């Protein structure tokens, strides 16, 4: 809504009504002239609303914001209808005028001032709805672990600790496997060294048996052959 001096936005004061809560609404005044314009805001229910500033001056080709605050209400009106109204008065002020220069007489038509008036209604609107919570696991590619159990709430479920525990278990198993491989390798190397040493002793016994005049096989030779067989079978 506009008049010859000011543009007014919005045309109605809209309050997202909520019980027991202060609600504010901004009113923007734009000066479309090359003069200083003084304004004054009135209401039919001054105890219910707080207007800051309720008087002021809008500089040429500039704008000002007026904040209207409705006090917290204990009861909701019938059918969410409000009969409160606001009246915006504006008049051309002297060049360089400041808010301190605004007086009651400036808006008196009896004094010969040209006062423009604009009536504004109060409208209650529904408060904005909070965003609906996104169900865990509803998006494509989400992990099955992010789903909520039938007996739990989304706020009770956290996937991170469970993921970390799985990762730590894998690291533990890998360490045990490496330790086992190292121990088996050491045992195999020891067995190979023992086998080489026994083979050397066996060769020595064979040479000594060839030099011996006795045709029988020494008992020590038989024992060593059996021991080597057991070691090779173990490996």
Token digits of residue 203: 């060769």
Report the greatest alpha carbon distance in the chain. 156
Q: Coil, strand, or helix at residue 35? A: coil
| Per-residue tokens: 164 | 């970390």
Side-chain-facing half-sphere of 5: CA atoms under 13 Å = 19
State the alpha helices, DSSP H only, in the chain.
159-211, 219-234
Q: How far apart are the first and last CA of the chain?
A: 99
The rounded distance, in Å, linking the Cα atoms of 122 and 83 is 7
Contact predicate 59/31, CB 8 Å: yes
Q: What is the DSSP letter of 44?
A: S
- The owner of tokens 């909701």 is 76
What is the pLDDT at residue 146? 39
Position 77 scores a pLDDT of: 84
**Partners of 120 in beta bridges:** 86
Nearest Cα to Cα of residue 82 among 23, 1, 3, 7 = 23
pLDDT at 173: 54
The rounded distance, in Å, linking the Cα atoms of 124 and 81 is: 7
**CB-based contacts of 72, cutoff 8 Å, min separation 6:** 19, 20, 21, 22
| Residues belonging to the chain | 235
Q: For the whole prediction, is pTM greater than 0.75?
A: no
Over the chain (235 residues), what is each successive 10-residue block's mean pLDDT? 84 92 96 97 96 97 97 88 95 96 94 93 84 57 42 34 38 65 81 81 77 59 69 63
Query: Would you state the pLDDT for residue 49?
Result: 96
- How far is residue 125's CA from residue 121's CA, in Å, rounded to a whole number? 13
Q: How does pLDDT run across 90-135, given as a tens digit for each residue? A: 999 999 999 999 999 999 998 889 999 999 999 998 887 767 665 5
pLDDT of residue 22: 95
């Amino acid at each position: 809504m506009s008049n010859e001096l000011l543009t007014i936005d919005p045309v109605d004061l809209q309050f997202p009504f909520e019980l027991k809560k202060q609600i504010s609404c901004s009113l923007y005044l734009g000066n479309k002239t090359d003069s200083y314009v003084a304004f004054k805001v009135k209401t039919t229910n001054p105890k219910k609303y707080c207007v800051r500033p309720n008087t002021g001056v809008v500089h040429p080709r500039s704008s000002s914001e007026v904040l209207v605050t409705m006090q917290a209400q204990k009861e909701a009106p019938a059918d969410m209808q409000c009969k409160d109204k606001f009246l915006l008065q504006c008049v051309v002020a002297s060049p360089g005028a400041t808010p301190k220069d605004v007086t009651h007489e400036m808006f008196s038509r009896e004094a010969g001032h040209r006062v423009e008036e604009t009536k504004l209604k109060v409208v209650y609107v529904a408060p904005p709805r909070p965003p609906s919570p996104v169900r865990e696991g509803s998006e494509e590619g989400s992990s099955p672990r992010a789903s909520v159990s039938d007996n739990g709430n989304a706020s009770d479920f956290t996937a991170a600790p469970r993921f970390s525990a799985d990762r730590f278990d894998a690291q533990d198993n890998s360490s045990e496997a490496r330790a086992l491989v190292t121990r088996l390798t050491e045992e195999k190397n020891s067995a190979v060294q023992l086998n080489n040493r026994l083979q050397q002793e066996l060769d020595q016994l064979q040479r000594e048996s060839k030099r011996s005049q006795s045709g029988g096989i020494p008992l020590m030779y038989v024992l060593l052959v059996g021991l080597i067989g057991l070691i090779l079978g173990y490996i």
